[in-house]
Amino acid sequence: MNNRTAVRSTALGYPRIGSNRELKRALEAHWSGRLDAAGLERAGAAVRAEMLGDLSVLDSVPTGVFSYYDHVLDTAFAVDAVAPRHRRDDELASYFAAARGDAAAAPLEMTKWFDTNYHYLVPEIGPSTAFAARPGKAVAEFLEARERGLDARPVLVGPVSFLLLAKPADGAPEGFRPLDRIGDLVEVYAEILTALGRAGAGLIQLDEPALAADRTPEELAAVAAAYRRLVGTAEILVAGGYGPFGESLPVLLEAGVEGIALDLVRGRADLDALEALDVSRETFVVAGVVDGRNIWRTDLAAAARDVERVRALTDRVGVASSSSLLHVPVDLAAETDLAPELAARLAFARQKLAEIAALADPDGPRDARPAAPDAWRDASVRSRLAGLGADADRRAPYAERRAAQAERVPLPPLPTTTIGSFPQTAELRQARAAHRQGLMIDADYRARMRAEVAAVIAEQERLGLDVLVHGEPERNDMVQYFAEQLTGFATTAAGWVQSYGSRCVRPPILFGDVARTAPMTVPWTSYAQSLTAKPVKGMLTGPVTILAWSFVRDDQPLADTADQVALALRDEVADLEAAGTAIIQVDEPALRELLPVRAAGRAAYRAWATRAFRIATAGVRPDTAIHTHLCYSEFGEVIDAIAALDADVTSIEASRSKMEVLADLDGAAYRSAVGPGVWDIHSPRVPDAAEMAAALRLAVAALGPDRVWANPDCGLKTRRYEEVLPALAGLVEAARLVRAEA
């Protein structure tokens, strides 16, 4: 072994949308025809130059981590695993056809990247997918960094994770799994690694995040075979992130890879495992001690202790982020409005690079993280939670609630409703922006929003919907809206994080004890209810989703933080009920997202997540109905958790998966009502009444006529009224058709 690969400091990946979201703007200009391919490439080069400038404080600089859309899609193109329907004469057109679809073809499916809010594109792999090496992007970005005099390290998604993240292509035979193709794929990886080596690359990072999940012996055998084949072609650093390698750790080490990058934030168990393995002092270990998933300053003293534990085992130790820094915003310096005691405790990507460099420097600072200020604690929240007791999460039995609710709010079979938001028009956004910038006074803003609520109510009455909503015009975002009103939260000015493609989100920061100081939604719901005799649903975001889409304090268990958020919501639920609201919907679209990657943590997660929901909702009378809404994923893994929410009605995304959720619910403990979405609101296509009626018939056949609601898949805020009005008219008509058949 040599010492040339003894990297001291590095990051596993870096934000790639630009510190001012320059790439987002360029992409959107390109897609709308305002910027040609050359202009887009110039914008991309500028973003890469900025990334390299930031990363140049490191000894080893990751390259190839830039992307025009998604790194899994980049890997699919690097191995030429491009579906026939996405092949175009022009490579960029082909790439965006796969990412977003075009007139000729539907895009690849998009799904959550592990337990994050990043979404990747799912490669489609069949028995005859003809892999071929296309190392162009990887080589070019490597050379670009090297020309700046940097010690560049190409990064690719590893072959095992690539196939485990893929799905079988249409037409693949029953039982085919993408991993069956590992042998062929590894030969193509060998070619790519060789091409990079010829270009001058030494160490090459292959990301195997899928090895942070439970893997079968067969999958581990594939890992062993793949890496035994590849170790001869390059010096390979295998990186995980997203948890411990666990059973994969010895397999990788035995395969003879040059080095291994451990997630020592979420996967600290790997450190014990490494100590137990009695590894050689030549083993190259990169200690991922700087959290790539959260925005808190690193406790340098604690991190240094973990690095020392690794140093006790081997002579070749590096310091890095625990995962790619993709999941954090670029620069804390852009935040000028944060309270100083909060800002002093934060580190975004640029600050994390400095921490990594400091930890790699034997004489660098080793400051422990200061304790949170006392002012961030709220003794009354803590004592209320301690006093809640077991009754906090128990309601009357469902049958009793159902009868009481039917008496209070009589509804026809297959009641029609929507998920909450109505289109967020340009005028609404402008009004919110003007209000935020102080250009519109509160009274005018409120009047504008009330006019919108009135219009939305009138529209729903005209359409003949049964349960109405106020339309959520006042909400910028379903989490931020609440974060802005709860204590213990801060919001950022420019803390953007890529969610997928050009789409970025700005997660609030949950830093202290959470409490509600005043009603957050009651005036809007009450106003809407004052305009109609039909029931108007109250509309809240649930505790798990608020946590999932925020940066959350890491100084206490998530479960405890969830309970605090739940308690604040419980007060809001009580106030809505006291104001006469008969139906309250608490959305939990992220329930699946926080499910732990490994099975071992799942039971505990299900228990605290569902208890938090019940703390929020179980204070109501039996005749007040609790609804919930779930979307953005498949729910097979959390059906029991959905049952444990103990909601009276669950609306759930179903149309894209062709009502698959009905099969999941079959035989599950879930007994209350379901609104399987019959209109895919993520697509501009408007289904007609016949199509929605057919979906409702499937639901009625599976669940019986008394348990089915008719609703879209999700909120309507991203759609236009031209789509929404005909679709909802069709939905009401579909419910009428199917009711008549009963």
Residues of this chain that interact with Zn ion (CB under 5 A) are 589, 631, 714
Among Zn ion, ligand GLN, none, the one that 137 touches (CB under a kind-dependent 5 to 8 A) is none
Helix (H, G, I), strand (E, B) or coil at 338: coil
The active-site residue, picked from 86, 435, 470, 682, is: 682
Q: Which two tokens stand for residue 701?
A: 């056949």
117 marked among binding-site residues = yes
- The structure tokens 């019940």 sit at 614
Which residues, including other chains, have CB under 8 Å from residue 109's CB and lie 6 or more apart?
121, 122, 167
Q: What phi, psi does 322 have (nearest 5°)?
A: -75, -30
Residue nearest to ligand GLN (CB): 715
Q: How far is the CB of 419 from Zn ion (least distance, A)?
A: 6
Q: How far is CA 367 from CA 299, 303, 364, in A?
A: 7, 10, 9
Contact stretch for ligand GLN (CB under 6 A) within 7-15, 322-330, 416-424, 457-465:
416-424
d(CA 187, CA 230): 8
Among ligand GLN, Zn ion, none, the one that 478 touches (CB under a kind-dependent 5 to 8 A) is ligand GLN
Q: How far is the CB of 33 from ligand GLN (least distance, A)?
A: 30
Q: Which two tokens stand for residue 298?
A: 């690193």
CB-wise, 405 or 711, nearer to Zn ion? 711
d(CA 65, CA 579): 52
Site for ligand GLN in 521-580 (CB under 6 A): 539
Q: Which two tokens stand for residue 282?
A: 């030549």
Contact stretch for ligand GLN (CB under 6 A) within 392-400, 619-627, 655-663, 710-718:
710-718
The number of angstroms, rounded, from the C-alpha of 18 to the middle of its chain's C-alpha atoms is 20
CB-wise, 150 or 478, nearer to ligand GLN? 478
CB-wise, 288 or 420, nearer to ligand GLN? 420
Size of interface with ligand GLN, in residues (CB under 6 A): 13
The DSSP-derived string for 381-419 is: HHHHHHHH-GGGG--S-HHHHHHHHHHHS---SS-B---
Q: Which two tokens stand for residue 541?
A: 């975001």
> Among 589, 619, 677, 687, which residue interacts with ligand GLN (rule: CB under 6 A)?
589
Helix (H, G, I), strand (E, B) or coil at 124: strand
Which residues, including other chains, have CB under 8 Å from residue 336's CB and lie 6 or more apart?
493
Of the CA atoms within 13 Å of residue 106, those in its CB half-sphere come to 11
**C-alpha closest to that of 610 among 572, 638, 648:** 638
Q: Do you know the residue count of the chain? A: 742
Which residues, including other chains, have CB under 8 Å from residue 601's CB and lie 6 or more apart?
none
Q: Which two tokens stand for residue 598?
A: 């490994």
> Among 243, 415, 420, 423, which residue interacts with ligand GLN (rule: CB under 6 A)?
420
CB-wise, 10 or 480, nearer to ligand GLN? 480
112 is a site residue for ligand GLN (CB under 6 A): no
CB-wise, 178 or 712, nearer to Zn ion? 712
Maximum alpha-carbon separation in the chain: 79
549 marked among binding-site residues = yes
> Among 587, 623, 664, 680, which residue interacts with ligand GLN (rule: CB under 6 A)?
587
Contact stretch for ligand GLN (CB under 6 A) within 134-142, 429-437, 514-522, 712-720:
712-720
235 marked among binding-site residues = no
Q: How far is the CB of 608 from Zn ion (least distance, A)?
A: 22
Contact stretch for ligand GLN (CB under 6 A) within 38-46, 59-67, 253-261, 417-425:
417-425
Rounded to 10°, the helix 91-100/71-78 angle is: 130
714 is a site residue for ligand GLN (CB under 6 A): yes
The number of angstroms, rounded, from the C-alpha of 498 to the middle of its chain's C-alpha atoms is 10
Among ligand GLN, Zn ion, none, the one that 263 touches (CB under a kind-dependent 5 to 8 A) is none
Q: How far is CA 500 from CA 72, 105, 111, 121, 241, in A?
A: 11, 19, 10, 9, 19
Among Zn ion, ligand GLN, none, the one that 325 touches (CB under a kind-dependent 5 to 8 A) is none
CB-wise, 252 or 478, nearer to ligand GLN? 478
Which residues, including other chains, have CB under 8 Å from residue 341's CB and lie 6 or more apart?
373, 375
CB-wise, 241 or 715, nearer to ligand GLN? 715
The number of angstroms, rounded, from the C-alpha of 424 to the middle of its chain's C-alpha atoms is 22
The number of angstroms, rounded, from the C-alpha of 603 to the middle of its chain's C-alpha atoms is 21
d(CA 678, CA 662): 12
Q: How far is the CB of 653 from Zn ion (least distance, A)?
A: 6
CB-wise, 551 or 632, nearer to ligand GLN? 632
739 marked among binding-site residues = no
530 marked among binding-site residues = no
Site for ligand GLN in 715-734 (CB under 6 A): 715, 717
675 is a site residue for ligand GLN (CB under 6 A): no
Geometric angle at alpha carbon 480, from 681 and 332, rounded to 5°: 120
Asked if 675 and 655 touch (Cβ cutoff 8 Å), the reply is no
Site for ligand GLN in 597-656 (CB under 6 A): 629, 631
Q: How far is CA 501 from CA 16, 213, 307, in A?
A: 10, 25, 35
741 marked among binding-site residues = no
Among ligand GLN, Zn ion, none, the one that 538 touches (CB under a kind-dependent 5 to 8 A) is none
Among ligand GLN, Zn ion, none, the one that 539 touches (CB under a kind-dependent 5 to 8 A) is ligand GLN
Rounded to 10°, the helix 558-578/522-530 angle is: 30
Is 682 noted as a catalytic residue in this protein?
A: yes
Binding-site residues for 5-methyltetrahydropteroyltri-L-glutamate sit at: 24, 117, 503-504, 549
Which residues sit in the known binding site for L-methionine? Answer: 419-421, 472, 587
* Residues noted as catalytic: 682
- Mark the binding-site residues, compressed into ranges: 24, 117, 419-421, 472, 503-504, 549, 587, 629, 631, 653, 714
Q: Which residues bind ligand GLN (CB under 6 A)?
A: 419-421, 472, 478, 539, 587, 589, 629, 631, 714-715, 717
Binding-site sequence positions for Zn(2+): 629, 631, 653, 714
